Amino acid sequence: METAKYTNHADKTFFSPILLSCVSRLKCLFSIELIGQSFVETLMLAEKTMPAAAEKHHITFFRQSGWMMFAATTSGVLMYAVHFVVSREIPKGEYGVFTTLLQVVPLLGIPAVGLQPIIAQQQAAAITDEQKRIVAGEFCAVWRVIFFIWLGIALVAGIFWQQALAGLKIENSAALALAVLIGLAAMWMPLVMGILQGRQDFFWLGWTNILNGVGRFGLVCLVVLIFHGWAAGAMSAVFFGMLAVIVIGGWQIRDLWRIKTPPIQWKNWLRRIVPLTFGLGAATFMLSADMIFTQNFFPREQTGFYAAAGTIGRALVFFTQPLTLVMFPKLARSVATGEKSHALELALGATLLAGGAAAVACTLFPWLPLLIVNGKSFLVAAPLVTWFAWCMLPLTLSMVLVNSLMARSRFAAVPWLVLVAIGYGVALAIVGWHAGNLADTQAGLRMMIQTLGVFNLLLLGVCAWFTWGVKEKTKMAVGR
């Protein structure tokens, strides 16, 4: 049973499903005064009739997942609403640049992509005071190291500045500068989110997600509608939205900076972080790379249509991502404590159900999200929406399995995941060079999506094999 420190807001309020039922019935039968008098008796009854451990686990999982799904949906709607403003108010070529830079940001953050799960894993498994001090020390040290890694990335971007502007068809260099700056926020944010996730503080984890969407949408409205900014202005809104997450989330975990920490064992840290970075980095590359290759190989005025359809497809992944956020610390803690967890089965089943329903909806009404968000001029991209939905579905399932493998330290899968990602990059370059020169642009864009679908299926196959086809003893370095 988890300590109160790592229990989320919902758990503090509702002690058990039986208590919920008792309180509900008392409200119907008695006055508020009688409820107050009998509260202690009801609580004692609930403790005596507490459900079995497995049932409690399922209910807690779905309650936490439900809150995270709500938070992600709210944030996702707000972030998707950004495209409602941007795609209607700026030229389609600039909209393509904006959407491309949104996909550049996760790629810039790949060096830190393993930070959230590893910090969440360590925090969830930190049972003793010594282990908690080690986690605090790692957090503070890595925070500083990230800044210097980002300086290196910024230097490389400066060296290839003109090539990047030409390849991504960016007319205002400030847009690219802001994307590089956002890269720092993208690498710091997983540290903060990882501590909240590891503590299973899903209340604030969800709220920071919502506030990210609120900040981004509000600032986009201000910059684009009031000051008539284009891609560069919209990217500034993205930066300040992420900054709000870092500041608010950082305040919730401010105790880490005051803990006296031991020296960091960098060798052990790197042994954990490197496979996580490559494994999750491969999945991130699969999610984001297609837009960048499309922007490079296709006419600037056509990429906005691909961007609109791709945003809908990627929303499928982001919509189900909260399930993995809830699953990861539970699997990590189960490995540390030896307790059995059904989090993977629950997360995978819910992802398949939600993702499949969304894909069916995109098949029946592919024009609807385009009409609502982007306007009539984007309806030509409707056939691409259906392709994107089904080609992204395997990736949503792969994300769950990749996170499960990483949480259980089953790193034998990592080289194969990286190999799939490399093959995907090569295939995008070959297909993009050919498809970008076709007279039928729609056919060329469809080929890019089909390439995505083939390699997402291959990624899913690799993840499934290492999850169920290979028996491997998991080892987890706790507090080393």
Of 48-57, 196-205, 237-246, the one with minimum mean pLDDT is 48-57
Q: What is the pLDDT of residue 17?
A: 40
Q: What is the pLDDT of residue 137?
A: 87
Q: What is the pLDDT of residue 200?
A: 81
Find, among 355, 94, 332, 359, the residue nearest to 232 by Cα. 94
Q: Which has more pLDDT, 119 or 50?
A: 119
In degrees, rounded to 5, the angle at the alpha carbon of residue 423 between the alpha carbons of residues 419 and 424 is: 115
| 128-142 residue pLDDT tens | 888 888 888 889 889
Highest mean pLDDT among 74-88, 279-293, 307-321: 279-293
Residue boundaries of the structural domains of the chain? 53-469
Q: Which amino acid is at 167?
A: G
Q: Which has more pLDDT, 60 or 243?
A: 243
Q: What is the pLDDT of residue 25?
A: 38
Q: Which amino acid is at 270?
A: L
Average pLDDT over residues 220-229: 93
Helices (H), 49-168: 53-89, 92-108, 115-125, 129-159, 161-167
Q: Is the pLDDT confidence value at 278 over 80?
A: yes
Q: Is the pLDDT confidence value at 22 over 50?
A: no
How far is Cα 149 from Cα 187, in angstroms, rounded to an integer?
A: 10
In degrees, rounded to 5, the angle at the alpha carbon of residue 330 between the alpha carbons of residues 327 and 334 is: 135
> What confidence category does residue 339 fall into, taking pLDDT thresholds of 50, 70 and 90?
low
Average pLDDT over residues 158-170: 94
Determine the 3-state secondary structure of 164 from DSSP. helix
- The proportion of the chain whose per-residue pLDDT surpasses 70, expressed as a percent, equals 81
Q: Is the pLDDT confidence value at 241 over 80?
A: yes
Q: Is the pLDDT confidence value at 227 over 80?
A: yes
Q: What is the pLDDT of residue 297?
A: 94
Q: Is the pLDDT confidence value at 111 over 80?
A: yes
Q: Is the pLDDT confidence value at 16 over 70?
A: no
Average pLDDT over residues 34-39: 36
Q: Which has more pLDDT, 409 or 311?
A: 311
Q: What is the pLDDT of residue 203?
A: 87
> What confidence category does residue 423 fall into, taking pLDDT thresholds of 50, 70 and 90?
very high
Of 119-123, 171-175, 233-237, the one with minimum mean pLDDT is 119-123
CA distances from 35 to 12, 20, 21, 46 (A): 19, 13, 13, 15
Q: Which has more pLDDT, 135 or 24?
A: 135
Find, among 385, 381, 383, the residue nearest to 359 by Cα. 385
> What confidence category does residue 73 fall into, taking pLDDT thresholds of 50, 70 and 90?
confident
Q: What is the pLDDT of residue 478?
A: 38
Average pLDDT over residues 394-418: 90
| 371-382 residue pLDDT tens | 998 989 999 999
Find, among 181, 5, 155, 168, the residue nearest to 97 by Cα. 168
Q: Is the pLDDT confidence value at 41 over 70?
A: no
Find, among 105, 334, 409, 415, the residue nearest to 242 by Cα. 105
Q: Is the pLDDT confidence value at 80 over 90?
A: no
Determine the 3-state secondary structure of 410 from DSSP. coil
| Average pLDDT in the chain | 82
How far is Cα 403 from Cα 467, in angstroms, rounded to an integer?
A: 11
What residues contact 118, with CB distance under 8 A and at least 6 apart?
Answer: 194, 272, 273, 276
Q: Which has more pLDDT, 453 or 76?
A: 453
Helices (H), 298-440: 303-337, 343-364, 367-369, 382-407, 414-435
Q: What is the pLDDT of residue 125?
A: 76
